[in-house]
Structure 1
Amino acid sequence: MPSTAVRATSLTRRGLLAAGGALGIGAALAACGGEDTKGGDAAKSSAAAGKSGAWEFKDDRGQTVRTPSVPKNIVAFTGTAAALKDFGVEVKGVFGPTYVEDARTKTRKPDVQAGDLDIDKVTVLGNVWGEFRIEEYLKLQPEVLITDMWEKDALWYVPEEQKDKILKIAPSVALWAAGKSMPAVLQRHTDLAASLGADTQSARIKADKARFEAAAERVRRAAKAKKDIKVLIGSGAPDTFYVSTPVRPTDTLFFQELGVNLVVPDKLDPSGWFELLSWENVDKYQADVIMLDNRTSALQPETLKSKPTWAALPAVKAGQVVPRVTEPVYSYAKCAPLLEDLAKALENAKKVA
């Protein structure tokens, strides 16, 4: 695990959801070789692959990536790679939080963002913010790089200072991980997986989607029955508590659409993602349930126990703090449980604030 100082810096830079201004990664990216701003949709991409062997995919920047054949040497952001795996597409390399190292036993376990990836069978090009081993990337002979996009044209976990070199090696695909509701983002990941050869109409994936839709309806019913229950989306750092706005992240935007009564902070930082509170003022917003960032960069409930102002919050005292998967793995298999857990939390919640 990173030190407290590193963790604090990491959370400040990534914040709740990677504010482009805070990160300094908001500058527009130039299109790399092999990309074109004109092209078709996912269906056209799949059709092209089937007829000619060539592959193309129009990403969420509006750029169309074209390669001579369907890419097999795929490198992706860890969470994106985990989503592709759930759809049946394997990657060669990953970058982003992939493993947590136990300093005592010298062993690794998968990070929460790694999903079902076998972390011993993929090349990890970087495990922390700002780390991307270009030499190892070259050895993989990548045909495409795939990642999330939290701010327009900013490639998630592709270091700004290395970006130009990285994008010259292989074409890139970026899919929104913010500003769109979760069902739309899931559909885009489905489209991408299908273009890469996944059978997205398989019985398993249809069952996963049906489970997701049923879970969404369960949340809708629970939210209607517990409309007085106030839910706060938060993340803890050593000196700061972040209260996220619900209108930009894909998950919380969807929660709002389903009727969940979410706290809306009134004094956002310049990036527009969250309000920063000192621990002395952590009780500014009264909430009955707190959804707490579960990423390894954020402080977890066991650590937060040492902060008296946290322990005094009504939701904490009532045991109504639940994990929030701040960076979801965008497959139906992984997003359905998130909704089921939220529905259960609402169903069991009591008014305490």
Structure 2
Amino acid sequence: MVTVPRRGLIALAAAALLGTAACGGTQAPPAAAPSSADPSASASAAGPWTWTDDRGKEISLPKRPERVVAQAGSAAALWDFGVRPVAVFGPHRLKDGGRDPEVGEVDISTVETIGNVWGEFNVEKYISVQPELLVAGMYIKDSLWYVPDESKEAIEAVAPTLGVALGGKKLTEVIGRYADLAAALGADPRAAPVVEAKTRFETASAQLKELAAARPGLKVMVITATPESMYVAYLPDHPDLAYFAELGLGLVSPAAATESEGGFWEVLSWENADKYEADVILVDARAQSMKVEEMAKKPTWNDLPAVKAGQVYPWRAAERYSYLGYAKVMEELKTNLESAKDDVVG
């Protein structure tokens, strides 16, 4: 069985692009008062530091951690809120040496590489960066994203680990959780870039809501794919898609996810790719996912009305959970949908 994002596209991830170790590392910015929205954390620069993560695990340290190692998505979110991890793991470096979109605005020349693909985590390198805290999201309950099971005990013996729940949560809740964590780690929640990003997010949300109200007949399907199957996103398990639906966007919604795949998707054979009607298809844009040009080799894909109409656009499936990240996503989505016809299917 191949599990797929957000649970991993493990088979395809094995072919993802390897990275090389980057030099150096930076510490978190100067201390700031923690956000009052989260009473579970304390952020004193000198005194004890505590945080209760989304596994219910209480982390207690003698002082606020400064040497943070984070999975790429978490690193990207924390970076936007002002925290500077010393090392990252998970997709962050492309084959040409460029920055993988999954790591957002993180300056990959200033962070160490612990691993770049699914299943890769260099424990020796992790020890060498002297981490004080590891942060990762969790799409599966109590399972840290991109932390290999076989290395879990060794990793947790080095420094405390902190999980942020992603699956089944509201988009704004997840973003808020990263904002609170960043504040607890010493970032300033009132910094101009953070305030500006939140305003931009709110504006983009309002504009997408306005577009959805003006285009009530527009049907949008969100997919990822492998050579064997097409996966239609099950909205409740994807915070971003659930949020877009909340704003009124007409997203195709399977009645249930395919249980054998662990949720997140309804799995269709390519022969049944036409199960749902859609004017627009959003396709997983990650580097390790099946490309549209590869799907074009499937006759049933080419027969889909949205494909015939040329209304296939990217879905930023691994966007970081920050106001800046999702402001950009919604701005792009609005631009694409503005020009889309809503009479492709009845």
TM-score (norm 2): 0.86
1:64-114: per-residue Cα shift (whole Å, max 9, x none)?
Answer: 21212221211100111111111221111111111221xxxxx32221201
Distance in structure 2 (CA, Å) of the matches to 1:55 and 1:267 = 41
1:151-180: per-residue Cα shift (whole Å, max 9, x none)?
Answer: 221111111111122111110111122211
Please show how residues 1-353 of structure 1 align to structure 2 within 5 Å.
Answer: 12-13=2-3, 15-18=4-7, 42-43=38-39, 45-46=41-42, 48-49=43-44, 52-101=46-95, 107-266=96-255, 268-270=257-259, 271-350=262-341, 351-353=343-345
Shift of 1:275: 1.4
Shift of 1:60: 1.6
Change (3 A) 1:247 1:267: closer
Unaligned runs of 5+ in 2: 12-35
The percentage of aligned residue pairs carrying the same residue is 42
AA partner of residue 166 (structure 1): I
Shift of 1:54: 2.4
Maintained 8 Å contact 2:171/2:243: yes
Distance in structure 2 (CA, Å) of the matches to 1:227 and 1:247 = 21
Task: Name which of structure 1's ranges 88-97 and 138-147 shifts more when overlaid on structure 2.
Answer: 88-97
Shift of 1:248: 1.2
AA partner of residue 262 (structure 1): L
Change (3 A) 1:203 1:43: farther
AA partner of residue 73 (structure 1): R
Give structure 1 regions of 4+ aligned residues with deviation exceeding 3 angstroms: 40-44
Maintained 8 Å contact 1:181/1:250: yes
Unaligned runs of 5+ in 1: 1-8, 23-39, 102-106
Maintained 8 Å contact 2:40/2:52: no
Maintained 8 Å contact 2:54/2:165: yes
Maintained 8 Å contact 1:42/1:57: no
Shift of 1:41: 7.3
Distance in structure 2 (CA, Å) of the matches to 1:313 and 1:208 = 37
TM-score (norm 1): 0.85
Maintained 8 Å contact 1:282/1:310: yes
